[in-house]
Amino acid sequence: MNRAELANDPLEQFRRWFAEAEAAVPAAEKMALATASADGSPSVRMVLMKQADEDGIVFFSHYPSRKGRELAENPRAALLFYWEPLGRQVRIEGPVVRVPEAESDAYFGSRPLGARLSAVASPQSRPVESREWLERRVAELAEQGEPARPEWWGGYRLAPDAWEFWQHGADRLHDRFRYRREGEGWAIERLGP
């Protein structure tokens, strides 16, 4: 991989690689999300990218979950896409904000009924009595009909201020390019593997 092959805009480069990943990797939208508490204690988990555009990368969750609490305390995060069959990874870092309620409403309404029921039933990241308790909660909610989006569930948008594109190379001589926000544009630099 060389600089001449890269798009000048990291979102365009991401879209190119993501299209190739979708053709080769099941659930290419899986990404690791790393957050940290106010005291710097890190945590990471897998989430799904639901949108990637000029405003950033969007994912959804419970606001009172561990990730939600950490983002409230420390509103910066890092994302990692890893597409092993292609020997590629993309790292993205930046500040995170909640998406507007209308956007969260629209996405919640588009989810399958079972996923909506599970989102409402689960006290995400908090201890629960048992699997049976969760299943009873879902069944009880299903009897009440279509659930509305709860106020404590919604989307987050990470606005990238840095992107890194990594391509596997023989003998661990990988190619790494970082896009770093510089004014209104992007500075692109090769990194050592």
Under 8 Å between Cβ of 90 and 14: yes
Neighbours of 135 (CB within 10 A): 11
Q: What is the pLDDT of residues 84-129, one digit of tens each?
A: 999 999 999 999 999 999 999 999 999 999 999 999 999 888 889 9
Under 8 Å between Cβ of 161 and 93: yes
Catalytic residue among 172, 176, 180, 181: 172
Q: What is the pLDDT of residues 140-156, one digit of tens each?
A: 999 998 999 999 999 99
What is the residue whose two structure tokens read 């092993």?
84
Give the C-alpha separation, 23 to 2, whole Å: 23
Residue whose C-alpha is closest to residue 67's, from 124, 129, 150, 27 = 124
The pLDDT assigned to 125 comes to: 84
Calculate mean pLDDT across residues 177-190: 95
Q: Is 69 an annotated catalytic residue?
A: no
